Structure 1
Amino acid sequence: MPLTTIKSNLPLVAIIGRVNVGKSTLFNKLIEQRKALVSKSPGTTRDLNFGLAEWSGKKFEIADSGGIFEKKITAKNHDTIDFQVEKKAREIIERADLILFLVDAQSGLLAKDRLIAQLIKKTKKLIILAVNKIDQHNKDISEFKKLGLGQPIGIAAASGVGVGDLMDEIIKILKHKNTKTLKQKNARIAVRVSIIGRPNVGKSSLLNAILGEERVIVSPIPHTTREPQNTLLEFDSHLIELIDTAGIRKKAKISTGRHNQATLESQGVGMSIAALKKSEIALFVLNASENFSSQDAELARLIIESGVSVIIIANKYDLLEKSTENVKALQSYVNNFFHFLSFAPVVLTSADTGRNCQKILSLVLEVYKERRKQILAAELKNLTDYLMKKMPPPKQTKIFGGRKRRAFIQEIYQKTTDRPIFIIETINKVKIPESYLRYLENNIRARYKFFGTPIKIVVDRLPMSSSRKRGSHG
């Protein structure tokens, strides 16, 4: 089934410049959220980062890019991260409707600024020249007129000084472009799918394989992906937002900066976890060519605790010796290691060759449908009445002591949410043991599946005088 990557109909503004001139800081300021990582380390931004900016009722798409002309690109280093960062930056220059060329008042006019100016002049694109960090150095910015790109606009991206004037200029230049979004497609709600896993299990390669294009930078170097990368696509008449995330490893192994300041890795991991918690489904990527680790198990539990549905992706299985016995052994190993994810489907993939990657989006829609399944109240009552008659809650000591009694279950119902949550209402203070909750959960799942989705059961103790009292069990 064909998929289509959704392209914005809004004009695209690309922020271009050397490293450490403040491109990501400006990007975050323009979209009014912290989406791009910011640090003093050169080359922090690698992949392209896209966001939506709005000013005076007008909207445009904006792209943050890595620094260019940082290292000489040769035939020997065309597979390096530096080459891929440079390639992505040049690609966005070609795609942009307007180039926002950012330079640094603190550094002054440098040779690399001149090289970039020459490059973007050749494109014949619309260009705005902005000089950043003017609040740090009250110097004359007129020297940047030598670039031949017109009157520079002085700004301080960190504090917001001059950013309003910059936005006015952007809207003025884009006045003949369509700055209104098309609502008929993008008004639909997309299924948010996070790609989660340890570093170097093939998450970015998997995204590229699903899309059939080089959307994100791929490298054997751990932590190549530093911040979530969102891609909106349409598949089988549904919108799906795939989110590639930074690899997550144990906190003890994540280094901290001076005075315990957050490092790039720790910030990226924080963004990955935040993206996971905002998702409906996680593609949990594992390296099938090596033994699973305790970190894989911790990530699996994090996924369950986040309440998202899950599809297990055993990637790199092409590195195993190809035989039916090995495939069966791998399936068995996955099922045994992640026995607490027995409800999750498992897909054996090779992101490098694309094998089985085409099955993932269909599975996403199947799991999403199961996640939103609502059981009719009458059906659920009949099932739970039968289960409690077959095996009533075991007698327990009341919270404040006394003789053993059963929990007085008044009602069990499914909460109207985007995930299966069941509420058990009781009107006495006798605890329901975890084993009995698992008994109910297992039987609900046996009847209604909820394929790929964790079930949550919540006990709600009501006062004895509850007006909702309709009957008793036990």
Structure 2
Amino acid sequence: MFTVVIVGRPNAGKSTLFNRMVRADDKIKAITDRLPGVTRDINYGLAKWDNKEFTVVDTGGFFSEQDSEDSIHKQMLEQIQMAISEADLIIHLLDGKEGLIPHDLETARKLRTTGKDVLWVVNKIDSPSHLSRIYDFYSISPELIPLSAITGYGFEELIEKILERIPPTKSTTSEEELPKIAIVGRPNVGKSTIINALLGKKRMIVSSVPGTTRDAIDAVCTYYGKKYVLIDTAGIRRLSYYKEELSEHVYVEKLAYFKALRSIERADVAVLVIDAIEGIVNQDQKIAGIVAEQKKGLIILINKWDLIPQNEKDKKAKFFADEIKRKLWFVDYAPYLTVSGIDKTRLTKVFPLVDQILEDYSKRVSTSELNKLFNQKLKDVVLSSGGKELKFYYITQVDVKPPTFVVFVNDKSAVKQNHIKFIEKLLRETFNFKFSPIEIKIKQRK
């Protein structure tokens, strides 16, 4: 996916611009709040404008090497350089209120040496009356975009500049058309062992040291003549860990987390691996939450089943069935399996589940069928919600991957989460959306 990276000195307004670009409502904030830090670390989000999507990366303040005498600043600089290396477009955000400083010129020089496409954006131009603030920055580039990340002044022009740089969708190669499966989970739950078993050969490094796999690695495998791309990701550590003092080890793990998020974005289906001995922990819930928020298909694998004593397997299976309902209720559509990467127990069931998820993921239902359901279940039904009268009019499907539906009502503010869950249940039961995530949007009919 096209990637836009925002860089600049500390306090130039990068995070404010990031939030505006990804339209940081509660849903997006839930993702960015999970990422380490606010000013030190990389924040990652998905932006959608005019039917185009692109990745936005918010970096920490861009310190110079001279300012980076301590290890934290050095690691921050390395993080930013890593993000820049993956960028298709860089936004150099300049502080129009503070004015031009030598560091801005140094950063601009370094960005030019990357050969990347760069937009020079002067922030804190809150109104046309402040346009004189940009004059100093013409020494960096004759093409400057004035902007106020807070008020939105100049924002439409910036978005237009970004969108015109996103290439049209090209016909994909055969490998790009293959179903993509991201193997995700905490460190040391057995992800690489599972992917090696699925591949039938030792493709990944397997170690008892948590976080051995630090990068996403793609491998193509074949199951009964059908090919799939498996993406092995670095283990995602508990997020409180990232708030501790940075060390070289922590820095590597932070980059691994960033790459794991990108792997989930690339995938059609995520396979969440959980340790059968440790059970479902808080971080497993958070990873599942990231997958759910990105509306990807999900399969849950309870791994290391070979370590469960034979006389306890039935009891343990019932325990996990209850635990999944209780702790992962928000992905109640996701199938789960008890497996062993070591002895390959039930791993052959993964690919048929992927196929079924992808079939549901791409399913379309005609508007006539949808409204036949609405006429049977919701026509002329008037609900009271917080003293407001709520009436459902009609429904239509507007997209797939995931199946996305728009429901028209008389009063959008009266629609509560329980109403949406009820409609989702109707759709799943009526049209057999068994394992796919579903997105339901509410619109008020004028």
- Of residues 438, 449, 470, the one that matches 2:432 is 449
Q: Are residues 1:396 and 2:393 paired?
A: no
Is the 1:396–1:430 Cα contact (8 Å) retained in structure 2? Answer: no
> Of Structure 1 and Structure 2, which has the larger fraction of its residues in helix?
2
Measured in 1, the distance between the counterparts of 2:224 and 2:382 equals 45
Alignment correspondent of 2:408: 425
Measured in 1, the distance between the counterparts of 2:172 and 2:385 equals 56
> Could you list the per-position Cα deviations for residues 213-251 of structure 1 after superposition, in whole angstroms to 9, with x for gaps in the alignment?
010101000110101111123434543211111111222
Amino acid at match of 2:216: P
Change (3 A) 1:444 1:429: closer
> Could you list the per-position Cα deviations for residues 343-383 of structure 1 after superposition, in whole angstroms to 9, with x for gaps in the alignment?
21111111011111122112211211111111122221111
Measured in 2, the distance between the counterparts of 1:187 and 1:201 equals 28
Amino acid at match of 2:321: S
Q: Are residues 1:374 and 2:357 paired?
A: no
The SS at the match of 2:378 is: helix
Is the 2:388–2:414 Cα contact (8 Å) retained in structure 1? Answer: no
Alignment correspondent of 1:75: none
The SS at the match of 1:313 is: strand
Measured in 2, the distance between the counterparts of 1:366 and 1:383 equals 24
Measured in 1, the distance between the counterparts of 2:348 and 2:299 equals 14
The SS at the match of 1:282 is: strand
Change (3 A) 1:384 1:212: same
Measured in 2, the distance between the counterparts of 1:354 and 1:258 equals 38
- Of residues 322, 326, 330, the one that matches 2:315 is 326
Is the 2:361–2:400 Cα contact (8 Å) retained in structure 1? Answer: no
Measured in 2, the distance between the counterparts of 1:267 and 1:275 equals 12
The SS at the match of 2:229 is: strand
Is the 2:381–2:391 Cα contact (8 Å) retained in structure 1? Answer: no
Alignment correspondent of 2:107: none
Alignment correspondent of 1:365: 355
- Of residues 292, 306, 312, the one that matches 2:300 is 312
The SS at the match of 1:407 is: strand
Is the 1:407–1:431 Cα contact (8 Å) retained in structure 2? Answer: yes
Change (3 A) 1:214 1:393: farther
> Could you list the per-position Cα deviations for residues 174-214 of structure 1 after superposition, in whole angstroms to 9, with x for gaps in the alignment?
xxxxxxxxx99826611111111111110111000101101
Alignment correspondent of 1:200: 188
Deviation at 1:260, TM superposition (A): 11
Alignment correspondent of 2:444: 461
Alignment correspondent of 1:245: 233
Deviation at 1:322, TM superposition (A): 1.1
Alignment correspondent of 1:412: 395
Amino acid at match of 1:437: I
Deviation at 1:417, TM superposition (A): 2.2
Deviation at 1:160, TM superposition (A): 6.8
The SS at the match of 1:263 is: helix
List aligned pairs for 1:177-192, cutoff 5 A. Answer: 186=174, 189-192=177-180
Alignment correspondent of 1:286: 274
Measured in 2, the distance between the counterparts of 1:430 and 1:330 equals 39
Is the 1:387–1:440 Cα contact (8 Å) retained in structure 2? Answer: no
> Could you list the per-position Cα deviations for residues 68-111 of structure 1 after superposition, in whole angstroms to 9, with x for gaps in the alignment?
xxxxxxxxxxxxxxxxxxxxxxxxxxxxxxxxxxxxxxxxxxxx
Q: Are residues 1:335 and 2:324 paired?
A: yes
Q: Are residues 1:299 and 2:287 paired?
A: yes
Is the 1:209–1:354 Cα contact (8 Å) retained in structure 2? Answer: yes
Alignment correspondent of 1:134: none
Deviation at 1:396, TM superposition (A): 3.3
Measured in 2, the distance between the counterparts of 1:448 and 1:201 equals 35
Alignment correspondent of 2:420: 437
Measured in 2, the distance between the counterparts of 1:301 and 1:426 equals 28
Change (3 A) 1:260 1:351: closer
Change (3 A) 1:209 1:259: closer
Q: Aligned Cα RMSD in Å?
A: 3.5
Alignment correspondent of 2:257: 269
Measured in 1, the distance between the counterparts of 2:359 and 2:206 equals 32
Is the 2:408–2:443 Cα contact (8 Å) retained in structure 1? Answer: yes
Change (3 A) 1:188 1:263: closer
Alignment correspondent of 2:64: none
Measured in 2, the distance between the counterparts of 1:256 and 1:439 equals 42
Amino acid at match of 2:274: L
Deviation at 1:393, TM superposition (A): 4.7
Deviation at 1:429, TM superposition (A): 5.2
- TM-score after normalising by structure 1: 0.54
Gaps of 5+ in 1: 1-33, 45-157, 162-182, 398-403, 464-474
Aligned-residue identity in percent: 24
Is the 1:257–1:263 Cα contact (8 Å) retained in structure 2? Answer: no
Q: Are residues 1:210 and 2:214 paired?
A: no
Is the 2:197–2:344 Cα contact (8 Å) retained in structure 1? Answer: yes
Measured in 1, the distance between the counterparts of 2:445 and 2:359 equals 32
Change (3 A) 1:431 1:302: same
Is the 1:320–1:326 Cα contact (8 Å) retained in structure 2? Answer: no
Deviation at 1:257, TM superposition (A): 6.7
Query: Which shifted more, 323-332 or 208-217?
Result: 323-332
Is the 1:311–1:345 Cα contact (8 Å) retained in structure 2? Answer: yes
Gaps of 5+ in 2: 1-56, 58-70, 79-111, 116-170
Is the 1:406–1:430 Cα contact (8 Å) retained in structure 2? Answer: no
Which structure is larger by alpha-carbon Rg, 1 or 2? 1
The SS at the match of 1:406 is: strand
Change (3 A) 1:185 1:272: closer
Measured in 1, the distance between the counterparts of 2:336 and 2:181 equals 16
Deviation at 1:314, TM superposition (A): 0.4
Amino acid at match of 1:442: K
Amino acid at match of 1:367: I
Is the 1:288–1:330 Cα contact (8 Å) retained in structure 2? Answer: no
The SS at the match of 1:208 is: helix
The SS at the match of 1:394 is: strand
